[in-house]
Amino acid sequence: MKKLYWGIALLVLISPLGLLAKGTAWGEWSSAEFKRMIGFMPGGMRTVESLWRAPLADYAFGGRQGAAAAVGYILSGAIGVGLILIAFKVFGRFLSVPEEERSSHEDT
Amino acid sequence: MHIPDGYLSPQTYGAMYAVMAPLWWRAAARVRAALPKKNLPLVAMAGAFSFVIMMFNIPIPGGTTGHAVGGALAAIVLGPWAAMVAVSTALVIQALVFGDGGITAIAANCFTMAFIMPFSAFYIYRFIAGRSADFGLGARPKTPSAALSSASAQSRNHTYAPSPRLSSALHPGLSAASSNFARPKGFSAGPLRQRLGAFLAGYASIVLAAMATGLLLGLQPLIATSAGHPLYAPYPISVAVPAMAVSHLLFFGPVEGLVTALAVGYFARADSPVRPAFQRVALSREGESA
């Protein structure tokens, strides 16, 4: 189990490799990119796009270039992993049954 | 493959929430009923792995990027329902905190990456590697037969993970394949089929998920237009599905396949923290006879 944690930590540390890729995934363009590509911004998109402002949008804080972007990316990865582990701590309260009670749950 | 806010019409994302709500409910119920408590951290790790692997953007010709998802690996090791919980959790965090995928599109993105992908991967892997090569750490058996009674007997004895699928390997008479795999030595056919099954499961499942994403995007011009202009994702099915399919067939599919095969290959080794059911059975038998 410890090995798996270290593996995830290593992946987080080398995650800035993922920043080397320039460009946007197909179907994930921003409104500015849209205007450049098809000349207009679809009407329904405008109303929904500003619905939610993600606190750490695009895994970037402190800068989008160079070392700052890389550090931000690593921190984002660490924060994301941390939040997932915390989420599962919470899930654990109701997602799992103690072994002693398990046999009575087998038939449900 | 993360559909942002504004790309799907309310009819579409609403429908996806309606589809996903019972599936999430079912996944939670299955995990609660079948997953041994000590394996829950493994589900968390699968979610974390999925989250991190999606950060590795890969550039491809044509100026776009993409990434592996990790949903196939989670499904093979933990079963499709636990994988659904793991990948959904990663997708929700990505949408809420990092703006990767829209919050209106959370259900749609979970449908493609946390439902279509794990389920297709799980059954492709099982078809190629064989039922006895299941890791069996998370899901319940399909047929409640002798398997169930022995599984609950195991859990009462507190011996080891009460994975119901183990029981088919515990009764070598049930299938020829399982008796082969259950031998302590001589997994000759096992590892190769496992790796091949893992590769193809990763490869095919991400392509299927990508095509479903393309279909959801491609449906939008049919659903909502205003004065001839599309209101949401503007490209028709004839553009969106091939665009998603080809990039994943050529680039991200092989990457997902490779990641899945390497990880499953690692887990199949004797010193790995997680091993497939047949090996754990084999090892426990060795222990008994010694």
Contact A18 B214 (CB under 8 A): no
**Domain membership flag for residue A86:** yes
- Three-state secondary-structure class, residue B222: helix
Separation in Å, CA of B241 to nearest CA in chain A: 11
Chain A CB contacts of B233 below 8 Å: 27, 42
Q: What pairs with residue B64 in β-bridges?
A: A24
Does residue B138 belong to any structural domain of this protein?
yes
Q: Smallest CA–CA separation between B149 and chain A, in Å?
A: 9
Q: Which residue from A26, A84, A105 is facing B64, i.e. has the nearest CB?
A: A26
Cβ–Cβ below 8 Å for A92 and B40: yes
Q: Residue B157: its pLDDT value, please?
A: 40
Asked whether residue B29 is assigned to any structural domain, the reply reads: yes
Confidence (pLDDT) at B85? 96
Nearest chain B residue to A1 by CA: give it.
B273
Which chain A residues are Cβ-neighbours of B96 within 8 angstroms?
52, 54
Q: What is the dihedral of CA B158, B161, B167, B170, to 10 degrees?
A: -80
Q: Which 3 state secondary structure label does DSSP give B64?
A: strand
Looking at the domain assignment, is residue B37 inside a domain? Answer: yes
Residues of chain A with C-beta less than 8 angstroms from the C-beta of B9? 44
B5 lies in some domain: no
**For residues B256 and B72, is the Cβ–Cβ distance under 8 A?**
yes
Q: Does B111 fall in a domain?
A: yes
> Is residue B2 a part of any domain in this protein?
no
- The answer to whether residue A14 sits within a structural domain is no
* Chain B, window 51-90: residues with a beta carbon less than 8 angstroms from a chain A beta carbon: 51-53, 55-59, 63-67, 85, 89-90
pLDDT at B145: 43
Question: Which parts of chain B fold into alpha helices (H)?
Answer: 10-34, 40-53, 71-78, 80-98, 106-110, 117-129, 146-157, 166-170, 176-181, 189-223, 237-247, 253-267, 277-289
And the tokens for B36?
């041994």
Of the partner residues B43, B94, B155, the one whose CB lies closest to the CB of residue A102: B155
pLDDT (tens, 9 = 90+) of chain B, 290 residues, equals 999 999 999 999 999 999 999 999 999 999 988 888 888 999 999 999 999 999 999 999 988 999 999 999 999 999 999 999 999 999 999 999 999 999 999 999 999 999 999 999 999 999 998 877 777 676 544 444 434 444 444 444 444 444 444 444 444 344 434 434 444 443 434 688 899 999 999 999 999 999 999 999 999 999 988 877 888 999 999 999 999 999 999 999 999 999 999 999 888 776 777 766 555 555 555 544 43
- Residue B139, in any domain of the structure: yes
Residue B130, min C-alpha distance to chain A (Å): 25
**Burial tier of B21 (Cβ tally within 10 Å: 0-12, 13-18, 19+):** exposed
Q: Between chains, do B85 and A96 touch, taking CB under 8 Å as contact? A: no
- Report the distance separating Cα B104 and Cα B89, nearest Å: 15
Best probe of the A interface among B11, B49, B51, by most A CBs < 10 A, is B51
Q: Do A42 and B63 touch (CB under 8 A)?
A: no
Q: State both tokens at B4.
A: 């942002």
d(CA A87, CA B167): 32
Same domain, A64 and A90: yes
Domain that holds residue B235: 10-289
Q: Closest approach of chain B CAs to the CA of A95, in angstroms?
A: 5
Task: Report d(CA B143, CA B56) in Å as an integer.
Answer: 39
Any domain includes A38 = yes
Domain tally, chain A: 2
- Assigned domain for A104 exists: no
* Total domain count, chain B: 1
Domain limits for position A91 = 60-96
Contacts with A, B 165-204, CB within 8 Å:
none
Q: What are phi and psi of B233, to 5 degrees?
A: -50, 125
Does the residue A107 lie in any domain? no
- pLDDT attached to residue B180: 43
- Cross-chain residue pair B7–A77, CB shorter than 8 Å: no
Query: Which of B5, B12, B55 to mutate to probe the A interface, most A CBs <10 Å?
Result: B55
Looking at beta carbons, which pairs linking B158-161 to residues 24 or more positions away fall under 8 Å?
A: B158/A99, B159/B284, B160/B280, B160/B284, B161/B36, B161/B38, B161/B39, B161/B136, B161/B137, B161/B280
Q: What pLDDT, on a 0 to 100 scale, did the predictor assign at position A102?
A: 54
Distance from CA of A104 to the nearest CA of B (A): 9
Q: Domain for residue A18, yes or no? A: no
Identify the residue with better confidence: B94 or A106: B94
Instruction: Confirm whether B181 is domain-assigned.
Output: yes
Amino acid B113: pLDDT: 98
Residue that is written with structure tokens 């968390």 in the block: B44
Q: pLDDT of A86-103, one tens digit each? A: 999 999 887 666 555 555
Lowest mean pLDDT among A20-24, A28-32, B87-91, B165-169: B165-169
Contact pairs from chain A to chain B, CB under 8 Å: 214
Residues 204-223 of B with CB under 8 A from A: 213-214, 217
A41 and A64 housed in the same domain: no
Read off the tokens for B21: 């709500």
Structure tokens at B194: 């496992």
How many C-beta atoms surround the C-beta of residue B195 within 10 A?
19
Tokens of B35: 């997953």
SS3 of chain A: the string is: CHHHHHHHHHHHHCHHHHHHCCCEECCCCCHHHHHHHHCCCCHHHHHHHCCCCCCCHHHCCCCCCHHHHHHHHHHHHHHHHHHHHHHHHHHHHHHCCCHHHHHHHCCC
* Residue B36, domain CATH: 1.10.1760.20
Inter-residue contact B233 to B243 (CB < 8 Å):
no
Can you say whether the dihedral through the CA atoms of A16, B43, B124, B110 is positive or negative?
negative
